[in-house]
A and B are shown apart, each in its own frame.
Chain A
């Protein structure tokens, strides 16, 4: 029987199509999570009341940020999920090596980010419609260009979280020590910063990504960061064995 020649691109493509089908539960969880987020948002993110003279003003502030935040969290968890043994081993049932497996995972996560980003922004519209009917107030609608920008930046944020989740998941696959170490380090830093009252590493990292005003710089930042996180995961997982 003659040998089959394969190219990496070809295999990655096949694995990608396979993953879209095999990991379809991921998208179902997305829908549930976003609906949940919309529901949470109904409470209003904040409200303020003030009395100016004899006039009492009650302002409720609604935001669909919840949905975006939930979607990012979802991206993070999804990325961790697909690094777990069960998912990783699924790849090696058929044709794969570690490079193709990682690449197809990255492309898959990019897809989930796109889906997550778009649905997050669209569900914010759903939210606005609900607000309109229930609270009889006219929400501020974005201009189309702003909507597109919103979608685009949400996608990038979700993708960044996917990349982070992928690295975290890979570290955990290499050693279970990281399941304790990583959360401890994260929350430890957070608490320390809270106690000291100074903006530390965690805060500055958030600031670095979430307060960028230049679109181009923002894109570059995210792409470079995601690229670094993924390459880290690729290098680390290149020696990972497939154990039953």
Chain B
């Protein structure tokens, strides 16, 4: 069953297209990483899924319903982000109690245990928390609510390395014990990569890739060698990124269409074949030019 079905979704914000004809499906009980640069449209997309914003064009179904103004969608979706507006008059304990009243699957014990583990003060107010503490509190809300669709936008903002690690583990344990559909948006793909099942890469409001994250590592390869040789090899393939090294060497990232024998021939021709890390690949795929920042400095 698809939890989210999105067809030609477009959102115009003051003249610019935050989302531009976006289409994808997200299946039940998968952890999907929503990856993209700043301003790629990730938050806008999540807000539309949560029913906070209304799409300009296209169709979006969440649990087979249009999310904008749908009470069913709101009851089955929780969306946490780093610019949350929580009622200023309630302290943290009261906020947890309020959340408990809204979500029938709320796990009070889990919430309390996480709360104690991260040494939050029940009498403190959300607005008085540091960025990292806010993110920690959001995480407690998100995990304890046990909502069928849990969306976390930049969940680790401001968290220190230890808390981030704890968070990833807590998320995974919760997911294993109570499978649910989870979408995490993040800049740190290398950190969340292992938690993910699928990756949805967006850029400038468009979908670039949507595939199992495990396949991403074989989707493209990096080849390095003499520029003349490399150019020969990359003639008929899609080049994702190029970089010249030294006088006559090049490093090129291409789609991985090569068979094992071709790879062997390449190696024999003095070409180094290396895998490309997922986060590097995402950077290459979403950069405006094939040469990246180097192109700015290459005037010639």
Tell me whether A and B are bound partners. Answer: yes
Residues of A at the B interface (CB closer than 8 Å) are 1-6, 8, 11, 14, 17-18, 21-25, 86, 89-90, 92-100, 238-239, 241-244
**When chains A and B are docked, how far (Å) is the Cα of A119 from the Cα of B101?**
30
Nearest A-chain residue to B178, judged by Cβ: A1
Chain A hits for B146, CB < 8 A: 1
**When chains A and B are docked, how far (Å) is the Cα of A23 from the Cα of B85?**
14
Chain B hits for A239, CB < 8 A: 54
How many residues belonging to B are interface residues under a CB distance threshold of 8 Å? 40
Chain B hits for A8, CB < 8 A: 71
Chain B hits for A99, CB < 8 A: 69, 71
Please state if B53 and A4 are interface contacts (CB–CB under 8 Å). no
Chain A hits for B101, CB < 8 A: 14, 17-18
Chain B hits for A93, CB < 8 A: 84-87
Interface string of B68-108 (1 = CB under 8 A from A): 01111011100001011111111000100011011111000
Please state if A243 and B63 are interface contacts (CB–CB under 8 Å). no
A2, A4, A239 — most chain B CB neighbours (10 Å) = A4
Please state if A4 and B71 are interface contacts (CB–CB under 8 Å). no
**When chains A and B are docked, how far (Å) is the Cα of A92 from the Cα of B84?**
10
B47 at the A interface (CB under 8 A): yes
Please state if B69 and A3 are interface contacts (CB–CB under 8 Å). no
Chain B hits for A25, CB < 8 A: 89
A1, A86, A100 — most chain B CB neighbours (10 Å) = A1
Please state if A243 and B53 are interface contacts (CB–CB under 8 Å). yes
Q: Return B16 CB to nearest CB of chain A, in Å.
A: 15
Chain A hits for B63, CB < 8 A: 3
Please state if A86 and B85 are interface contacts (CB–CB under 8 Å). yes
Chain B hits for A96, CB < 8 A: 71, 74
B52 at the A interface (CB under 8 A): yes
**When chains A and B are docked, how far (Å) is the Cα of A18 from the Cα of B86?**
12
Q: Return A100 CB to nearest CB of chain B, in Å.
A: 6
Chain A hits for B76, CB < 8 A: 3-4
Please state if B52 and A4 are interface contacts (CB–CB under 8 Å). no
**When chains A and B are docked, how far (Å) is the Cα of A95 from the Cα of B54?**
17
Please state if A98 and B75 are interface contacts (CB–CB under 8 Å). no
Please state if B102 and A95 are interface contacts (CB–CB under 8 Å). yes
Please state if A5 and B148 are interface contacts (CB–CB under 8 Å). no
Nearest A-chain residue to B98, judged by Cβ: A18
Given A22-B89, A25-B89, are A4 and B104 neighbors across the interface (CB < 8 Å)? yes
Q: Return B12 CB to nearest CB of chain A, in Å.
A: 12
Task: Identify B70's interface contact among A23, A92, A97, CB under 8 A.
Answer: A97
Other 19 A-B pairs with CB < 8 A, given A23-B89, A25-B89, A244-B43:
A1-B105, A4-B104, A5-B72, A5-B75, A18-B102, A21-B89, A23-B87, A86-B88, A89-B85, A92-B50, A92-B52, A93-B86, A95-B74, A95-B103, A96-B74, A97-B70, A98-B69, A242-B47, A242-B52
Across the A-B interface, the 7 shortest Cβ-Cβ residue pairs: A22-B87, A242-B52, A94-B102, A89-B85, A1-B148, A6-B75, A1-B180
Please state if B89 and A97 are interface contacts (CB–CB under 8 Å). no
Please state if A6 and B71 are interface contacts (CB–CB under 8 Å). yes
Nearest B-chain residue to A8, judged by Cβ: B71
Query: Can you report 28 A-B residue pairs in the complex whose CB atoms are below 8 A from each other?
Result: A1-B29, A1-B105, A1-B179, A1-B180, A4-B75, A4-B103, A5-B72, A5-B75, A6-B71, A8-B71, A11-B71, A18-B98, A23-B89, A25-B89, A89-B85, A93-B84, A93-B85, A93-B86, A94-B99, A94-B103, A95-B75, A95-B103, A239-B54, A241-B54, A243-B53, A244-B43, A244-B83, A244-B85
**When chains A and B are docked, how far (Å) is the Cα of A14 from the Cα of B83?**
24
